[in-house]
Amino acid sequence: MLHATLDVEREPLSNTLDAEDGFRQQVRDYCTHELPTHVRDKVRANLFMTKQDHVDFLRSLARRGWVAGHWPKAYGGAQWTPLQRFIFEEESTLGGAPWLIPFGVNYVGPVIYTYGNDAQKKRFLPPILASQVWWAQGYSEPGAGSDLAGIKTRAIRNGEHYVVNGQKIWTSYVQWADWIFCLVRTSEESRPQQGISFLLIDMRTPGVTVRPIKTMDGCHHVNEVFFDDVKVPLENLVGEEGRGWSYAKFLLSNERILAAETGHSMRALEHLKSLVRSVPSDSGLDRGVFERRIGRIELKLHALRAFCLAYGRSMDPSQPPGVEASIMKIRGSELQQDISEATFDWLGRSSIVYDATLVNAPHASSHVGPADTSGAVREYLHVRAATIYGGSNEIQRNIIAKAELGL
Amino acid sequence: MTNEVWFDETDASLDDAAARYLRERYRFEVRYKLPAAERRFSRTVWNDVAEMGWLAVTTPEEDEGLGVRMTSVCLLGKAAGRGLLNEPLTSGLVAAWAIASSANVDQRETLLPRLHAGHLRVACVFAEGDEVRVEGGALHGRKTVVIDADIADHLLVLVQAAGQAPTLHLVEAGAPGVRREVYPLLDGRGAATVTFDGCRATLLGEGNAVSASAVRRAMLLGALATAADSYGAMSATFDLTLEYLKTRRQFGKPIGTHQVLQHRAVDMHIRVGESKAVLDKAAVSLQAGTDSAARDVHAAKAFVCDEARKLAHDAVQMHGGIGITDEYAVSHYLRRIRVNEQLYGSTEQHFQWFAAASAASDTHATNP
């Protein structure tokens, strides 16, 4: 699979590139003229975004029909190719757009239009496009992290309802969510992957409680969610009972397609380069030596982008992503950590001052150093998680070893 | 890698008391629930620290200290890092030594007993270049990120303008002409930007400049204590990680049964062992005042801080989700290790000083 991807010389490159450039220009125009400036300013300063910031961003996308650009036209999307999707992520992020929180648009939406029934499509897809309903993902549990198939949250059929009992953890932004899609166990089978079902749960249902977990950047990204005799109508089951694992795998492969986050790294690298140009090191770092460290990082980014673009140009959209997605996740997350660590290092004495209230504010400020120092420190802390979430890099390597190398 | 070589009865009892105190009275899980101000500084803890004699290990016995004991500085630093001690121990140790070595008899008799008893809480403003100047007998200038200046009641100001002999000054933190902008550090400790605007301070000594070697030694003491702190933090991080590898089960078995994690744990173990050797060597050298003492301390600060950072990054990764949370100790160790990198000379500065000292002499021949 991998060798075919790298063989890009067979592709009619010039035509592809013209189309790519045209689309890139559209995304740039959007960022320049339509992306709300308060959102762009916060993103560039690495401040913590509010739900309203995200909604403002999504509404600005909606005017171009880009909230769910990769969805089929029949469901309100723009039917982007994987390459367009990649370009959108790269250009919009570079241009100051926030991470597009994927739970509705990228995760549950495609699962519903692929595996859901007509009633579910009609009920759930339009509010996602209109940014009216906020979704969260109920996957990980205390005992099921890297071993996701080990989930224990039970859904027992009782008349017209499932009764759900159990606990989810690391649930991102569920404090803003109206709905959560969950992997639940509907039967005990010999293989743990069997007996898992994909269930949609209204967060207002009695018995659902949320406990926030503060992360080391002092912000509120993740939570625990508890289900205590929660009654969920049978009609909220997506697809067939017991087939949830295959839907989850479909969803996870969707998740990884954007995992390279090259736009994020490009933006962070630009920030680092301008920092090094404008502020001297107060901790004895030599600018020339440091610029070579940046050069090595830039080379890794160059290679990752080449890999992603080659893959995007050769990918068959009708097939699920291959192990290339895992490669992009590994390289992309490590690159984010390299850049944020270098930025932290250059900030020197300023880097050790951190006041979480400043990164939860609407405008950049710092007690010492440039105004965006607090945000840069937050970024360093936050991207320590990039090699953990969405399937840890260890799990990604296992996937490649097994699926690609036959080990 | 043995400490018995330099351990005496005093060190043994200090070490034992420190370990017990931090384990029983300064537990992370208990302290995590305290209000922020109390977590930053507890008067009760500070009194206990003083009572256990920790603040007297850098003062000679003739000044009512326990002697200038670098081995004690090292073991207390380790304990402080392991216990995530936020109270200003290193600042106190450096200040006591600087006062004992530079102040006149009257000043020593007035200041040191109060310092040992915890009644004098000092932050060290070690200015570089012309950050702080003396003009007409008053202090002028500004120093950013002075650790512990947020909670100090006195500031010990080192002025070392280019071409002039260094001078040491003591001033009340609330004195006229002193302004502090206080802020939290990444790891829960605190600092301040201190501005002197013509403030009158007490000159330490007989009106003379302090010796350059005393200043250097104060910096080395601070670097040693900070390296020891990072060592304590990294070894505690390793213990947590090893425990997690043995108890966290996924795919029906402990995650520590995976070879890829075993090898990473072994690398962490090596980092801890080498760091301890480098650190203890520095403590012994600085205690003995050997020619290589400065070089050995530079080595310890640069090496331990660098290894500690790598170990802490790995520890977060190997813990997964719990590793990035604020309610679990591992992320606090990472943050403390990163703060320590910048205190009493950065990792890079100590590396450069180490390289310069190594280039200047054939140290391997004279310093096995």
- Residue A12 is predicted with a pLDDT of 41
Is 0.80 surpassed by the pTM of this model? Answer: yes
User: How many contacts (CB atoms, under 8 Å) link A and B?
Assistant: 110
- Residue B326: what are its φ and ψ, rounded to 5°? -80, -20
Q: Which long-range contacts (CB under 8 A, 24 or more apart) does B158-162 make?
A: B158/B98, B158/B124, B158/B125, B158/B126, B158/B127, B158/B215, B158/B218, B159/B127, B159/B132, B159/B133, B159/B134, B160/B127, B160/B128, B160/B129, B160/B215, B161/B129, B161/B130, B161/B133, B161/B134, B162/B129, B162/B130
Rounded CA gap, B265 and B282, in Å? 26
ipTM: 0.95
* A14 pLDDT more than 70: no
Which of B145, B249, B327 shows the shortest C-beta gap to A213? B327
How sure is the predictor about A172, in pLDDT bands with cuts at 50, 70 and 90?
Answer: very high
- pLDDT single digits (tens) B165-219: 899 999 999 999 999 999 999 999 999 999 999 999 999 987 667 888 888 999 9
Using a CB-CB distance cutoff of 8 angstroms, which residues of chain A are in contact with residue B335?
216, 381
Q: Kindly calculate the radius of gyration of chain A based on its CA atoms and give it in whole angstroms.
A: 22
Rounded CA gap, B200 and B175, in Å? 8
- Number of Cβ within 10 Å of residue B97's Cβ equals 23
Using a CB-CB distance cutoff of 8 angstroms, which residues of chain A are in contact with residue B349?
283-284
- pLDDT single digits (tens) B340-351: 999 999 999 999
Using a CB-CB distance cutoff of 8 angstroms, which residues of chain B are in contact with residue A388?
316-317, 320-321, 323-324
CA distance B76 to chain A (A): 23
- pLDDT single digits (tens) A286-303: 999 999 999 999 999 999
Domain extents in chain A? 12-129, 135-242, 251-403
Query: Among all residues of chain A, which has the CA nearest to that of B186?
Result: A354
Protein fold of A251-403 = Butyryl-CoA Dehydrogenase, subunit A; domain 3 (1.20.140)
- pLDDT single digits (tens) B267-298: 999 999 999 999 999 999 999 999 999 999 99
Pairing of strands A208-213, B58-59: unpaired
Which of B183, B249, B255 shows the shortest C-beta gap to A353? B183
The DSSP call for residue A214 is -
Using a CB-CB distance cutoff of 8 angstroms, which residues of chain A are in contact with residue B338?
344, 351-352
Contact A355 B327 (CB under 8 A): no
Task: Count the alpha carbons within 13 Å of A256 in the hemisphere toward its beta carbon.
Answer: 26
**Is A283 in the B-facing interface, judged by CB distances under 8 Å?**
yes
The DSSP call for residue A133 is S
Which of A147, A352, A377 shows the shortest C-beta gap to B342? A352
Contact A353 B321 (CB under 8 A): no
Q: Which residues of B touch A (CB under 8 A)?
A: 144-145, 181, 183-187, 191, 193, 249-251, 255, 258, 260-261, 313, 316-317, 320-321, 323-327, 331-332, 334-335, 338-339, 341-342, 346-349, 352
Using a CB-CB distance cutoff of 8 angstroms, which residues of chain A are in contact with residue B324?
215-216, 384-385, 388
- Residue A192 is predicted with a pLDDT of 84
Helix axes A244-256, A324-347, angle to 10 degrees: 50
**Is A336 in the B-facing interface, judged by CB distances under 8 Å?**
no
Percent of chain B with pLDDT strictly greater than 90 = 89
Using a CB-CB distance cutoff of 8 angstroms, which residues of chain B are in contact with residue A169?
321
Contact A354 B185 (CB under 8 A): yes
Domain extents in chain B? 9-116, 122-203, 212-359
- Residue A249 is predicted with a pLDDT of 85
- Residue A389: what are its φ and ψ, rounded to 5°? -75, 165
- Alpha carbon separation from A45 to A51, A146, A237, B165 (Å, rounded): 17, 32, 41, 43
- pLDDT single digits (tens) A109-135: 999 999 999 999 999 999 999 999 999
* A13 pLDDT more than 90: no
CA distance B60 to chain A (A): 33
The domain defined by B9-116 carries CATH number 1.10.10.10: no
Among 3.40.140.10, 2.40.110.10, 3.30.2130.10, 3.20.20.80, name the CATH number for the domain at A135-242.
2.40.110.10
CA distance B159 to chain A (A): 18
Among B336, B34, B150, B327, residue whose Cα is nearest residue A218: B327
CATH class of the domain comprising B212-359:
mainly alpha
Using a CB-CB distance cutoff of 8 angstroms, which residues of chain A are in contact with residue B325?
213-216, 222
Contact B183 A344 (CB under 8 A): no
- Alpha carbon separation from A298 to A277, A294, B227, B310 (Å, rounded): 16, 6, 32, 22
Q: Which residues, 6+ apart, have CB-to-CB distance to B39 below 8 Å? A: B31, B32, B86, B188
Mean pLDDT along residues B226-253: 97
Pairing of strands A135-138, A179-185: parallel
* B1 pLDDT more than 90: no
- pLDDT single digits (tens) B286-329: 999 999 999 999 999 999 999 999 999 999 999 999 999 999 99
Using a CB-CB distance cutoff of 8 angstroms, which residues of chain B are in contact with residue A283?
342, 346-349
Residues 213-232 of chain A with CB under 8 A from chain B are 213-216, 218, 222
How sure is the predictor about B260, in pLDDT bands with cuts at 50, 70 and 90?
Answer: very high
* B367 pLDDT more than 60: no
At the second CATH level, the architecture of A12-129 is Orthogonal Bundle (1.10)
Active-site annotation holds for A188: no
Protein fold of B122-203 = Butyryl-CoA Dehydrogenase, subunit A; domain 2 (2.40.110)
Which of A216, A222, A354 shows the shortest C-beta gap to B331? A216
Contact A350 B145 (CB under 8 A): yes
* A54 pLDDT more than 70: yes
CA distance A275 to chain B (A): 19
- pLDDT single digits (tens) A189-248: 778 889 999 999 999 999 999 999 999 999 999 999 999 999 999 999 999 999 999 998
